[in-house]
Amino acid sequence: MTSVESASAGPDAWFELNQDGRTLAVGGAWTIAESARLDRELNALEIKGGEIAIDASKLSRLDSAGAWLLLRTRRALEAKGAKISDFRLPEMYRPLLGALEKPRKSEPRKSRIPTGYRGWLYRIGRATIHAYTQTVEMLAYLGRVTVETGEAIVRPRGNLRVAALFRQIEETGINALPIVGLLSFLIGIVLAYQGADQLKRFGAEIFTINLLGVGVLREIGGLMTAIIVAGRSGSAFTAHIGTMRVNEEIDAMQAMGLNTVDNLVLPRVLGLVIALPLLTIYSDIMGLIGGAFMCYFQLGITIPAFLRQLHEAVTVNTLMVGLIKAPVFAFVIALVGCYEGFQVERNAASVGMLTTRSVVEGIFLVIVIDAAFSVMFSVLGI
């Protein structure tokens, strides 16, 4: 070539166009390190139409970035009306250029779920199998936790971490007092208001206290407390253990020979089993205070009269029926929260999904167990 119209005179990668604009020579190392400069200079290159040859025989190195620039240059020349008469390239680089030049067709994703009623049956079957599998796994996990809980009670110094236990009692019990107290107080107000509104029609407003006392102590107080704790502490258990799993802290504990059940599950289970009955008593008291507040302002029933009627309406058995269920609720909530935490995969989306699932499963199981207790107490005449 006797003259150059455009050139890149770098030491590693270069190209030049001869005077008549019929040959574009390429040489040097066309790699990703030189791609930014080559891209700018190739975009500034002006080539007229007609036949043109690309001579890349002097290339010393070529990677995928450089090969892509060569292909783009050839297509840009063809788009301007030029006809590529020859494209000379070292034989060793032809497979790379061919791989980039090969068209890639993305096949449409086919759903595994059939359409119509078959899809409906497929979803039901899949959900049933998933529920069965998870039930079996949770029962196995329940057995393991039950055995290790019994061992921790029998040999507290060997298995039970006392500091972690008191920490969980603080987190699940003391820190939950404001929200449990507020909601129980409001539930008592609502229950007393609705009961009084209905009993007024029969002139039996005084029996609002009976309705409030039996309802709160026997059912509403314990059930509402368990639901609040399932949404608050159950989700916290799953999120905490799930985050540890994402950060590979669980793997590190197992590598060090630490028992994850002893260190992570037992303090939460025992802490919640201790805290929830106390929270239930607190919830019962706040619910009765809310009901007494409403009875005073709506019905004119004084506090001494309220207490006298409450003493006649409820007994110690009424309170004990509500309290007996609390440790069972606590055990189930903690078990589900910890179990779902260990099922978290190593991504952030899984933490959120399984936290939501633990709350839903915890509340569902609490209501199912409460219904079972109600049927059992009815059969036993309690």
Q: For residue range 319-370, what is the model confidence (pLDDT) as tens digits?
A: 888 899 999 999 999 999 998 888 888 887 888 888 998 999 899 999 999 9
Indicate whether 1 pLDDT > 80: no
User: Per-residue pLDDT tens for 225-251?
Assistant: 999 999 999 899 999 998 988 888 888
Instruction: List every span in the chain annotated with CATH 3.30.750.24.
Output: 13-101
pLDDT at 367: 94
- Pairing, β 50-62 against β 13-17: unpaired
% of the chain at pLDDT higher than 70:
91
User: Per-residue pLDDT tens for 293-313?
Assistant: 988 888 888 888 888 888 888
Indicate whether 150 pLDDT > 80: no
pLDDT at 121: 85
Mean per-residue pLDDT, 195-208: 82
Indicate whether 7 pLDDT > 60: no
Edge-first strand order for the sheet with 13-17 is 13-17, 23-30, 50-62, 82-88
Rounded to the nearest integer, the mean pLDDT of the chain is 83
Instruction: Provide the pLDDT confidence category of residue 160 given band limits of 50, 70 and 90.
Output: low
User: Per-residue pLDDT tens for 104-129?
Assistant: 665 566 666 677 777 788 888 888 99
Please list, in sequence order, all residues whose beta carbon lies within 8 angstroms of the beta carbon of residue 24, skipping any fewer than 6 positions away. 15, 16, 17, 47, 52, 53, 54, 55, 73, 77
Evaluate whether 319 touches 217 at the Cβ level (below 8 Å): yes
Round to whole Å and give the CA distance between 226 and 236: 14
Indicate whether 3 pLDDT > 60: no
Q: Which residues pair with 161 in a beta bridge?
A: none
* Neighbour-count burial of 217, counting CB atoms closer than 10 A to its CB (0-12 exposed, 13-18 middle, 19+ buried): buried
pLDDT at 360: 92
Instruction: Provide the pLDDT confidence category of residue 288 given band limits of 50, 70 and 90.
Output: very high
Mean per-residue pLDDT, 181-197: 90
Domain 13-101 has CATH 2.60.40.1080: no
